[in-house]
Amino acid sequence: MISKLFLLTALTISLLIFQVDKAGAITNPSVIFHSGVELLQQGNYQQAVVKFTEAINIKEDYAAAYSNRCLANLQLGEYQNAIIDCNQAINKAPENIEAYINRGIAHYRQGNYTAAIEDNNQVLSRQPQDFRAYYNRGVATAALQNYRKAITDYQRALSLVSETPSYLRADIYNDLGLAQFHLNNYKSATRNFTLAISLNPQSERAYFNRGCTCGKSGDNIGAVKDFSNTVRLNPSNAQAYANRGIAYHNLGYEQAAISDLQTAALYFDKTGEQTAYQKTLGLIKIVQRQIPIIEETV
């Protein structure tokens, strides 16, 4: 099962007033800042960090530059640096909603779920209609296994998020389904995974999660269909092959089960997931032992 948080950029706009030094270099921090924004939008996060740093070196209290450098660091996986930048942004502009949102994401990705929840509380105390804060708080709350509270946050997020783009609603429905899955409410979980798929037919994780729910509910045919869609969207999803193999085994299709489990083992081995690899090899041996028994009873 997979959860994720929204990481939505909010870029500050300021007037461009060009200034140059005697050597011809641009010295206006706003111009440099906008160069960083463009690089951030292009996905060039390393160079964006460089530009925001240049702007900060010229203007030490540039809160927006700290906030956007935090965002670039998040994209680079530099979570501690992102937190440091967000702290600076908040110190210089305490009402900076985006800095709280981004710091919450950094805390979450470091596994500090309580701090992530507090950052989203700070957002909601200032902007009670921000669906991102409800959603992100829900994901952090679910990580602490408080699924009922998480469900409340997801439902609130759904009531606030716009209809478009539809993939945002799909992500929330998926995580709502995950929380219900953990509470063994498989009927509601299936309904929400189905809603996620209807909103985003390319959602690999929604198919995967609904397949898990089908398996838990004893619907092995449904599980095979959903895991087949998962590997169609991501042909290297080892866990989907393993789960489909188990569903085939439960349906009595042992050769298909072995084929899927072997494929899963291959991908687990390639990605260095040795525990899953060894477990899958064990499953293959179990299924292989079933084949002679079946043939003897025909």
Question: What tens digit of pLDDT does each residue of 98-156 get?
Answer: 999 999 999 999 999 999 999 999 999 999 999 999 999 999 999 999 999 999 999 99
Domains of the chain, CATH where assigned: 1-149 (1.25.40.10)
Q: What per-residue confidence (pLDDT) applies to 11?
A: 46
- Whether the pLDDT of residue 284 is over 60: the answer is yes
* pLDDT tens per residue, range 77-101: 999 999 999 999 999 999 999 999 9
pTM value is 0.86
Phi/psi-derived region of residue 130, left when phi > 0, alpha when psi is between -120 and 50, beta in every other case: beta
Q: Categorize the per-residue pLDDT at 42 as very low, low, confident or very high, splitting at 50, 70 and 90.
A: very high
Is the pLDDT reported for residue 169 higher than 60?
yes
> Residue 165, preceding bond cis, omega within 30 degrees?
yes
Q: Which long-range contacts (CB under 8 A, 24 or more apart) does 36-39 make?
A: 36/65, 36/68, 36/69, 36/72, 37/11, 37/12, 37/68
Please give the backbone phi and psi of residue 39, each rounded to the nearest 5 degrees, phi first. Answer: -65, -40
What does residue 13 show for φ and ψ, rounded to 5 degrees? -110, 135
